[in-house]
Copies of this chain bind each other. A is one copy, B any other.
Amino acid sequence: MLWQIIGMLAAVLTMFSFVPQIVKVYKTKSADDLSLGMLIQLSLGVFLWLVYGIHLKNAVIILANSVTFLSLSLLVFFYLLYGKSGKKI
């Protein structure tokens, strides 16, 4: 039971880990210090985890990586909007 809680906590924390970053970029309208390489590498990796999870029919892998992939996509969108060419306030 304790181990299930630890596993679930780990999954929830990592699953929603980009939410604070999305909020920060949205609030500051600034994303210059973020690495596009990191965002692309992570998005591709998480997408492959999702594909792999679908193959394994593993609901936890599918759910966790769907949430992460969606939040990363939003972050990439904000990066393109507010990055180098975006307006700094």
Residues of A within 8 A of B (CB): 3, 6-7, 9-14, 16-21, 23-25, 28, 30-35, 37-38, 41-42, 44-46, 48-49, 51-52, 55
The dominant DSSP class at the A interface is helix
Chain B residues with CB under 8 A of A46: 10, 14
Chain B residues with CB under 8 A of A21: 34-35, 37-38
Partner of A24 from the list B3, B17, B18, B35 (CB cut-off 8 Å) is: B35
Copies of this chain in its oligomeric complex = 2
Q: B17 near A38 (CB under 8 angstroms)?
A: yes
Partner of A45 from the list B10, B30, B48 (CB cut-off 8 Å) is: B10
Q: B37 near A20 (CB under 8 angstroms)?
A: yes
